[in-house]
Amino acid sequence: MRPMAIGKLRHRITLQTLTLTQDSLGVVSETWSDTATVYAQIEAISGREFFDAARVNAEVTHRVRIRHRPGIVPAMRVLAGERTLDIHSVLDVDGRKRELTLMCVERV
């Protein structure tokens, strides 16, 4: 597999991590904190790919490619402009730690 073409990484995204905090009354609140801001390639999955993937996961709506970065997990999310994408899976496609593919669902 060829290295990732740098020209395709044209979207600036922010990776965020969820932090749960509990106050003195026991109320749990969610806080999202920025983990990293990186360049990415964002692709909407076409109708055909979406229906083929429906057997495995019908909700995946975007494929986000970034340079490899340790610590990215499905519990995180991606902010891309006004859009928020929940990460459902993190794939190191060729196993060479050069790039990651994030399969995401856009929040509506």
Provide the 10 A C-beta neighbour count for residue 85: 21
Q: Tell me, yes or no, whether 1 lies in a domain.
A: no
Q: What angle do CA 48, 3, 76 make, to 5 degrees?
A: 65
Tokens encoding 24: 């003195």
Q: Work out the mean pLDDT of the chain and round it to a whole number.
A: 86
Domain tally, the chain: 1
Q: Tell me, yes or no, whether 42 lies in a domain.
A: yes
CATH number, domain containing residue 86: 2.40.10.270
Structural contact between residues 53 and 46, judged by C-beta atoms closer than 8 angstroms:
no
Summarised one tens digit per residue, pLDDT across range 58-103 is 556 899 999 999 999 999 999 999 999 999 999 998 899 999 999 9
Q: Tell me, yes or no, whether 23 lies in a domain.
A: yes
pTM above 0.85, yes or no: no
* Domain extent for 66: 6-106
pLDDT tier at 43, thresholds 50, 70, 90: very high
Q: Tell me, yes or no, whether 17 lies in a domain.
A: yes
Residues near 89 by beta carbon (within 8 Å), at least 6 away in sequence: 57, 74, 102, 103
Smallest CA-to-CA distance from 13 within 77, 106, 91, 92 is with 77
Q: Tell me, yes or no, whether 89 lies in a domain.
A: yes
pLDDT for 47: 52
H/E stretch holding 50 reads helix 47-53
- SS3 assignment, position 23: coil
